[in-house]
Structure 1
Amino acid sequence: MNTEFKAGALVAFGGYAQAIVYGMLAFAPLGQAGLAYGIYAGLASAFLGGLLGALFGRAPVQFGGPRSSTALIVAGSLLGFLQITSNHSDLMLLLMLEIALAGLLIALAQQQGVGKLMQFLPAPVLIGMNTTLGLFSAYKLLPAMLGFAVYTTALQAASTPALFSPMALSVSAITVAVLLYFRAIRPNPLGLVYGLACGFALHGVLLWAWPGTLPVQTVAAMPNHPLWQNLDTTSLVGSVQQVSALLLGTPGLLLQVLVGAAVLALLVVLESMQSLLQVDQTLGTRHNTRRELNTLALANVLCGLALALPSSNYFSRSNAALGVGAQHRQSEAWYVGLLGLLLLLTWPILAQLPLHILATAVAVSSLFLIQGNTLDLIRRFAARSTRRKMAPTERFTVWVVLSMVFVTGISNLLIGTLVGVLFVAAYFLQQQSGSGLRSIESKPAARSRSMRPRAHRQQLDAAFEHLAWVRFEGNLFFGNAPAIAIRLQDELAPAQSAVLDFTHLRYIDDTACDCLERLFKQGLPRTQTVAVLPTHEQAMGGEPLLHSCLARLGIATQGHIDDAFWHIENLLLGQIAFDNMAYSADSTLENSHLCDHMSPAQKKAFCAHWLTKTLPAGQALFTEGAEPCGLYVLRQGQLSAWHHTGHSNERLMRFCPGSMVGEMALIDRKPRSATVRADTDCTLLFLPIAQFDQLQEYQPELSQILQNNLARELALRIRLANQSLALLQ
């Protein structure tokens, strides 16, 4: 079976149940009439969102449709509107305005770059939102799981025992058991289908075996457009005029509509960006944020005009499709087509569908929005002994979750969401003292402290035109990580390689690590990137998180900025950086530029004075303070110069083949200023001081050329030293 078709069928089956239940949940404040409105609004949202997504969207494995979050916001808006007017036409026009405005706000958010910010939304916001939505969606549908009529309150259940049905409880319990088995014990992307199929099969058997009418609640309504009965021009114009008067004459109503639209837009963008990013990380793709948000904006404007629920993509639908192998947007086209076919097939029995089974399946799915680590955080927060050991980000996450749940419980999800956003915004302002990012330097002048052949230096100069040096400092956490990630995404786009310097970072949290991971998974170069981590003496909070993040990305790490630049230079040079083939003595001296400006006869005479020496790896060529003995030129291998400082040794320079070593002592005849040791097995050419003195005495012209070349080499080393100083600033 085609995987895209299979994915579309799976999501359509679950989406059908979700559309009905979420629609009825949104319009529950209107009573029995709201059931018919809700079925229409939920199904219309699924059709419109899916159709426009399939036509205009390009990101793979996305599915438009209603969500419990937006359904609860719509229900809260209706409750607020009911305090002002009880006329259904007025209520529907206000709701139409709110949802259409949400679509326009999504388009405005796209223009202002909010989509980028949503890609890096802090973890406490996501965890608080998902936990609150999961709890209250399940809470609203809990009566159905316990055998009561859907949307029955606790007081109604206690005062009206007739609402309870043991048969509904039995069927719901079996459905829950099947759903939990395929979600928690033996995870299967088809678990929702199996659960619904089991519940419907049991309902069918009971219909056949039970004498009379089953004592269970059914949908008991057919889809009905909320304004269908008011299609004549006169009544509609009158309703529009009345709503306009209400907006202008009722204090706070316009603000209520605007706030509701803003929260709907926020939820749609947030949930859709989560879905887009999760699919990108799974498939290794990169979505076009602008195109996808514009598609969502158009879909929600049309949903508002059609009086459908807001439509958003959601990662639970995408996860189900990914689980069966979907990789393209074609699956959404199948989803829309099969959703229509499913509605057509069930239309004759739509009013008889068992509502408690649909609601039970949606409630269990909502509970799985709550992440397991959230419950663990709350458990640790509850105990004083473990609370003190929690990281600041973990404690703040618990505060956000508890505040959103509490405020939503005493008011509604709209107010709870606003409290969560304000809570995080206040924390952001409090923590702005730690900038997190020191600088982003493109085309840096800094180089590693190394002596390389001239051709290599020229190649590195060209490669460093596309290198970025990113230096972090202070605290990098969810309060500043989103803004920093957006800046890095923009400024590192032209870079082909990067050095990430964390040596001055004091603290990093999981949100910041997630932001870094998303950045590089969205296309920034990983193979030509190196990170510098603090030494053990420079303790950094959250360092294990950063280590794990860099390991998952495959980014190499170094413990010193000079080692990092040496590493990135070798990556940019490629194989020639490790080319250790032995050159002839003449070629080695020419590569060292000691023979520059010499005639062929002078070169021949000069080369005759040199001796060949070998040096095993780890052995010192000479030590700091030793008397000078002559000049060396590295023919093969690698050397390093070290200086003893206090209780440690500091690497001063690396020498590659063709490099001169020991020329300072040759000129001033003072003791060696550093220890030079072989990093690998080395072959060297050696000019003893006695031979150098003979050149000065018997071949003054050749000696003068040699001294000029040595002067140029010393000038070059001063320039390289100035470049290396940039690493220490």
Structure 2
Amino acid sequence: MAAGPSRLAGGIGRECVAGLGLLTIALPMATAAGIIAYAPLGPEHAARGGVAGLFCAAVGGLVVAPLRANTGVVMTSANSAASVQASGLALVTAALADRPELLPAALPLIALATGLFQALLGLAGAGRIVKFVPFPVVSGFVSGVGLLLALKFSSALFGTLSLSALRNGDRLLSPPDPVTAALTAGLLAFTFAARHRLPRGLPVALVTFLVGILAYWGLRAAGLGGTLGGTLDAGAVWTIARGALAAGHWGADLAALTGEPDALVAILLAAGTVALVSMLETVFATRAAQTVAEFPSAPRRDLIALGIGTGATAAFGAVAFSGSASQTMVNYQEGGRSRISPLVTSVALLVLLLAVPGALALVPLCVFPPLIIFAGWRLIDPYTAAILRGAATRVGGPARAQARRDALVHLSVLLPTALNSALTGVAIGVVLSCAIFILSMSRPVVRRLRDGRAVSSMRVRTRAESEALAAQGEATVVMDLEGTLFFANAEDLAGAIRERRGARFVILDLRGVTDIDATGARILEQTRRSLAAAGIALIAAETPAAIAPTVRRLFPPDHDFHHLDDALEHAEHALLGAAAPTVPGEGVPLAAFELFEGVAPDGLARLGALLREERHPAGTVLCREGEPADRIWLIRSGSISVRVPSGRTNRRIAAFGPGTTVGEMAVVEDKPRSASLVADESLDLYVLDLDAYRHILAHEPELAAALFRNLARALSDRLRARSVALRAALD
């Protein structure tokens, strides 16, 4: 009985510790978000914006805690959403050029409208729609926001670019303050240098934040910090706590805004965009959490809670409030698994603000540009470089056409967003998402269909096995799928599978599938069960991570393979009646090896005297790439994989089973090994070493002639099989 309360107390204690650990990254990031959001109001509002970011993170977190799903996902003042909010506020600023006194009231109105839109999106179940947004659109927008942040705050390094100054004949680029530029460059260099060198669990943003504060006050003490700017506005704490913004009486100004229709349209556009972006960020934060832990997914509840929390921030600074994938991962690393840890962070932030507001005056504004530039750099998705490289380097065919379409979509969203037009980027992204979704729905889900006569595994087999598989070519069918599997095309897929009456194995290559909806999953499961009852195995292979949880629910483990080659090999084994591993000691006799076909019994006897037997357990490395070739292996039982380096791993490019020979080409050519050989299972081998091979060449001409004749035939068979595989891959 005592274990229950003890475990509960331990869990709460762990969550509290995680929440305090999360505070170290939430404090500088929330402050930076406020500075970003208030940037269109002018540099004089930056100090107050930083305090507003802290207040919104604290108050919003307190409000959403009891309303949201019980997960470790962090909702806070977010940099990317704040950047979109700033872009929207810039439009409002232009619309209120004649009434600048109303600008401070625009922020709370944007927050209220954003909260309403977020709640409506949650009620409409829009969180589930996010999975249908094509990845090039999402990646383009996220990378664009990252570039926008980095470029916007790089003025501390390079000065301010002004096109209007150029039109007036003034200097295009106003130079930066040299001390500020040097401090920013130094902090940026420190951040990038320290990010992989700090102890695990110590956030680089916190360290840079503290180093920047020390450097600022050190420069001030040395008489060099006169041009570095001021600190956060400690006096804004009580102003914001009383529900006031810059003008102090924004409630009355809200009514005045209703008489400015252009400003209201800009406010609604900004709110809608922030709501969409925060919805994406919150869903992505949940997905990020689910990659490392079994967090439940409740997008409807989370979005409604997010809307209520955003509405609450309207009176406390109105900085964009959203889910944060990066802070969620920090929370997980600190041990946070429930909503308690983000709640502890929010309480701690509020206590700091109200108990020691004077401490904010120690935090200089100049430490935030390098933090924001670094945050923007981290937002730039590596997919941006990969997609552009793929569009430029892929050779012909559908793959290159698809890569170019993806690159066009990606850049169409990225460039407007990065050029300070997040609203345009989102609009383009929505239009392109709808167009791509409609086109993908209209395409057949089965992109290509092949059987065992056109595609086979990379396993090298004996001639008898190859002939047996060729005779049963229609028994194995591979279907390459693409797009979204939903209620309409899932029925078409089921019909296409049922039409393959002679098949015993139907393998679904899922690498091109982006999603499987509930109806599609149900139809797929019903199809698998009906096929199993008829003695036909439905197998999944090459499953993308996005649909892996669904596929694991639909297919048993022995029908779900990581690689297509593994699935093909499984089907071939079953067709040959060799699914179970062979038993050492009961392997292929010497006379059955094709390498010795046509050798007379007395020749086999002499050959047997030159061979030795070896046994190895699974996982044994028989040789490594680059080593001298000094023996040939003849597999009596078991199997050997041929592996070559591929990035940080070794890629399997072929496999050899009982009755086959491996390693002979390097011996014949007298060259180093071209790949590594690894035992897949327990091996029982004959070994022909280099001395025995040279003895045959010198003293057994008939044996040597038979060996070379059979070797040439085996190589011809392998080359023919690879040609068939290559032709199938290029179709």
Give the TM-score normalised by the residue count of structure 1: 0.59
Distance in 1, matches of 2:511 and 2:444, equals 8
Aligned equivalent of 1:136, options 138, 148, 168: 148
2:257 maps to 1:243: yes
2:241 maps to 1:221: no
Match of 1:183 in 2: 195
Distance in 2, matches of 1:386 and 1:496, equals 36
Cα deviation for residue 440 of structure 1 reads 5.9
- 2:74 is paired with a residue of what secondary structure? coil
Give the TM-score normalised by the residue count of structure 2: 0.59
Aligned equivalent of 2:31, options 20, 37, 40: 20
**8 Å CA contact 2:525, 2:554 repeated in 1:** no
Match of 1:293 in 2: 303
Aligned equivalent of 1:78, options 89, 108, 111: 89
2:225 maps to 1:193: no
Distance in 2, matches of 1:240 and 1:59, equals 36
1:147–1:211 CA distance, 2 compared to 1 (3 A): farther
Distance in 1, matches of 2:24 and 2:162, equals 29
Match of 1:422 in 2: 431
Match of 1:686 in 2: none
Cα deviation for residue 443 of structure 1 reads 13
**8 Å CA contact 2:132, 2:437 repeated in 1:** no
Distance in 2, matches of 1:371 and 1:31, equals 30
Distance in 1, matches of 2:526 and 2:315, equals 42
1:288–1:201 CA distance, 2 compared to 1 (3 A): same
Match of 1:101 in 2: 113
- 1:45 is paired with a residue of what secondary structure? helix
**8 Å CA contact 1:263, 1:414 repeated in 2:** yes
RMSD: 4.8
Distance in 2, matches of 1:516 and 1:84, equals 45
**In the TM superposition, what are the counterparts of 1:497-646 in structure 2 within 5 Å?**
513-519=544-550, 524=553, 527=556, 530-531=559-560, 547=563
- 2:490 is paired with a residue of what secondary structure? strand
Q: Structure 2, unaligned stretches of length 5 or more?
A: 1-9, 446-484, 581-586, 589-731
Q: What's the CA shift string for 1:560-615, capped at 9, x where partnerless?
A: 79989x9xxx9xxxxxxx9xxxxxxxxxxxxxxxxxxxxxxxxxxxxxxxxxxxxx
Distance in 1, matches of 2:96 and 2:164, equals 26
Distance in 1, matches of 2:304 and 2:400, equals 39
**8 Å CA contact 1:168, 1:216 repeated in 2:** yes
Q: What's the CA shift string for 1:208-238, capped at 9, x where partnerless?
A: 4x13754312335343548457677xx845x
Distance in 2, matches of 1:215 and 1:163, equals 13
**8 Å CA contact 2:56, 2:76 repeated in 1:** yes
1:176–1:307 CA distance, 2 compared to 1 (3 A): closer
| Amino acid in the other structure paired with 1:246 | E
Match of 2:275 in 1: 265
**8 Å CA contact 1:49, 1:63 repeated in 2:** no
Match of 1:348 in 2: 358
Q: What's the CA shift string for 1:657-694, capped at 9, x where partnerless?
A: xxxxxxxxxxxxxxxxxxxxxxxxxxxxxxxxxxxxxx
Match of 2:413 in 1: 404
State the percentage of identical aligned residues: 20
**8 Å CA contact 2:51, 2:232 repeated in 1:** no
Distance in 1, matches of 2:572 and 2:443, equals 22
1:526–1:93 CA distance, 2 compared to 1 (3 A): farther
Match of 2:60 in 1: 49
Cα deviation for residue 293 of structure 1 reads 1.9
Match of 2:103 in 1: 91
Distance in 2, matches of 1:229 and 1:167, equals 30
- 1:55 is paired with a residue of what secondary structure? coil
Number of residue pairs aligned between Structure 1 and Structure 2: 512
Distance in 1, matches of 2:531 and 2:141, equals 35
**8 Å CA contact 2:110, 2:268 repeated in 1:** yes
**8 Å CA contact 1:178, 1:194 repeated in 2:** no
**In the TM superposition, what are the counterparts of 1:462-477 in structure 2 within 5 Å?**
477=512
Distance in 1, matches of 2:190 and 2:531, equals 51
Distance in 2, matches of 1:95 and 1:305, equals 10
Match of 1:124 in 2: 136
**In the TM superposition, what are the counterparts of 1:326-405 in structure 2 within 5 Å?**
326-344=336-354, 347-381=357-391, 383=392, 391-405=400-414
**8 Å CA contact 1:119, 1:273 repeated in 2:** no
Distance in 1, matches of 2:528 and 2:343, equals 37
Match of 1:720 in 2: none
| Amino acid in the other structure paired with 2:87 | G
Distance in 2, matches of 1:153 and 1:387, equals 43
Aligned equivalent of 2:441, options 432, 457, 464: 432
1:442–1:240 CA distance, 2 compared to 1 (3 A): same
**8 Å CA contact 2:105, 2:251 repeated in 1:** no
1:499–1:136 CA distance, 2 compared to 1 (3 A): farther
- 1:65 is paired with a residue of what secondary structure? strand
- 2:227 is paired with a residue of what secondary structure? coil
Distance in 2, matches of 1:271 and 1:140, equals 21
1:10–1:425 CA distance, 2 compared to 1 (3 A): same
Q: What's the CA shift string for 1:75-103, capped at 9, x where partnerless?
A: 22222222222435633444433332222
- 2:427 is paired with a residue of what secondary structure? helix
Distance in 1, matches of 2:522 and 2:52, equals 40
Cα deviation for residue 366 of structure 1 reads 2.0
**8 Å CA contact 1:68, 1:133 repeated in 2:** no
| Amino acid in the other structure paired with 1:102 | T
Q: What's the CA shift string for 1:263-317, capped at 9, x where partnerless?
A: 2111111111111111122112322223222211211222235551221111110
2:42 maps to 1:31: yes
Q: Structure 1, unaligned stretches of length 5 or more?
A: 451-468, 533-545, 571-577, 579-615, 618-729
Distance in 2, matches of 1:187 and 1:270, equals 31
- 2:292 is paired with a residue of what secondary structure? helix
2:510 maps to 1:485: no
Cα deviation for residue 351 of structure 1 reads 3.8
Match of 2:479 in 1: none
Cα deviation for residue 318 of structure 1 reads 1.0
**In the TM superposition, what are the counterparts of 1:717-728 in structure 2 within 5 Å?**
none
**8 Å CA contact 2:104, 2:245 repeated in 1:** no
Q: Which of 1 and 2 has greater Rg?
A: 1
Q: What's the CA shift string for 1:419-439, capped at 9, x where partnerless?
A: 122223223333333243443
- 2:228 is paired with a residue of what secondary structure? coil
- 2:559 is paired with a residue of what secondary structure? strand
Match of 2:125 in 1: 113
Cα deviation for residue 63 of structure 1 reads 1.8
**8 Å CA contact 1:147, 1:166 repeated in 2:** no
**In the TM superposition, what are the counterparts of 1:440-479 in structure 2 within 5 Å?**
477=512
Distance in 1, matches of 2:389 and 2:122, equals 39
**8 Å CA contact 1:380, 1:387 repeated in 2:** no
Q: What's the CA shift string for 1:339-368, capped at 9, x where partnerless?
A: 234435763242452222222123212211
**8 Å CA contact 1:99, 1:300 repeated in 2:** yes
**8 Å CA contact 1:16, 1:339 repeated in 2:** yes
1:41–1:205 CA distance, 2 compared to 1 (3 A): closer
1:75–1:429 CA distance, 2 compared to 1 (3 A): same
Cα deviation for residue 110 of structure 1 reads 2.2
**In the TM superposition, what are the counterparts of 1:693-704 in structure 2 within 5 Å?**
none
Q: What's the CA shift string for 1:44-102, capped at 9, x where partnerless?
A: 32112221233332342222212222222222222222222243563344443333222
- 2:87 is paired with a residue of what secondary structure? helix
Distance in 1, matches of 2:128 and 2:531, equals 23
Which deviates more from structure 2 when the two are superposed, residues 270-279 or residues 14-23?
14-23
- 1:432 is paired with a residue of what secondary structure? helix
